[in-house]
Amino acid sequence: MGKKIIILGAGFGGLCISNILRKNLDYTHEVIIIDKKDYFMMGLTNLWILDGRKKMDNSKIPLKNLESKGITFIHDEITKIDTKSKQIKMLHQVDHLYYDFLVIALGAEMSTNMINGFTKTNSFNLYDGESIPALRKKILSLEKGKIAIVIMGFPYKCPPAPYESAFIIDQMICNINRRNKIDVDIYFPSQLPLPVAGKQPNSKLVFMLKKQNINLFPNHKLKKIYKNNLEFHNGAKKEYNILVGIPFHFPPPVLKKSGLVEESGNWISVNKSTLETRFKDIFAIGDVTEIKINDTISIPKAGIFAEGQARSVASQIINKIGIASEEYNHILQFDGKGFCFMDTGNGKAGLIDTDFYNRNGPVTILKEPSIVYDKKKINFEKQRIKEWL
């Protein structure tokens, strides 16, 4: 009998796993993916829209493309996951959908509204693609003053992204010969810019930022915004002309409503190698999960980890119900490894390489920025879009 595999969320993790499953399972098995959005746009594209390499219109890829691959796409909002009857309820579909296997890849919700005074005219959410074209315009029209990049809280996805935006903004205002009239300030609530990483990447990153005269303000947790001032929990008050906010992240409300998030936690707890949840036949991957490495470090919220986790879950489902190709004919355990290319302006990118399950403790290395890594970053996006959609 054919099985029904339902994937919730057509982002990084959901697209990766649905494609692997469809390629490796015969058509007696159904692969269904549900998303409230009807397009996919990779998070890193925000930075390329900011630096002018890309435009919003040609960055969104329609999810209906999945249909030509034999993956059923349902454009709807998931309102309930019933773990007992194994059914999914949606906002518009009258019928509930039954699943044999469920993969939750709903990502993280984000909001800047938790901070009083985040106004639309000169405050921008770096993580909302729609607000980037206006941010770019605003930066290019600023004659003099201060651009404040503010990390509002932890965890947030792609830990290097705020610093990438600092390098990009630095370069943008250098290009228009206004760098000596505009400060670039970056505020973060922790002591180190990348608290999930060790000494080497932090020292190197601080060195690189300082070299570009980007001002760092550690231990600054934003409390409120009024007029053109930022007030922090440590009592500091700072002026700004343009605010680039990295929003608060929280789990999609449907998870709490459906009992998938434990009372004591915020995110879905999973087995760190298999991504199984405490519910039978339900896996969770990507930003919705929390995998603690130790008291202070968890696996960062990043697409590359969602992808590694997708591969592991796919291998388990395939081995349970199908005849796998060579690549998936054994169970792949999520190994905690990942990498990301960090934009540093001037057509260059660094490489951050991580191994979170290393038996001697987590290892993270930041490699020297180069044109080669920038090209690899471009390919990283291109290849995935081509393969998934």
Give the count of residues interacting with ligand FAD (CB under 6 A).
33
Residue 340 is a binding residue for ligand FAD (CB under 6 A): yes
Among 201, 303, 308, 369, binds ligand FAD (CB under 6 A): 303
Residue 13 is a binding residue for ligand FAD (CB under 6 A): yes
79/175 with CB nearer ligand FAD: 79
170/287 with CB nearer ligand FAD: 287
Q: Which residue has the closest beta carbon to ligand FAD?
A: 11
Residue type, 72: T
Residue 239 C-beta: closest distance to ligand FAD, Å: 25
Among 150, 302, 313, 318, binds ligand FAD (CB under 6 A): 302
Residue 255 is a binding residue for ligand FAD (CB under 6 A): no
Residue 106 is a binding residue for ligand FAD (CB under 6 A): yes
Residue 171 is a binding residue for ligand FAD (CB under 6 A): no
46/277 with CB nearer ligand FAD: 46
Residue 336 is a binding residue for ligand FAD (CB under 6 A): no
Residue 97 is a binding residue for ligand FAD (CB under 6 A): no
Looking at 33-41, 52-60, 147-155, 313-321, which segment touches ligand FAD (CB under 6 A)?
33-41
Residue 14 is a binding residue for ligand FAD (CB under 6 A): yes
In Å, how far from its chain's centre is CA 317?
25
139/238 with CB nearer ligand FAD: 139
238/249 with CB nearer ligand FAD: 249
Residue 301 is a binding residue for ligand FAD (CB under 6 A): yes
Interface with ligand FAD by CB under 6 A: which residues? Answer: 9-14, 34-37, 43-44, 46-47, 77-78, 105-107, 127, 157-158, 161, 252, 254, 286-287, 301-304, 306, 340
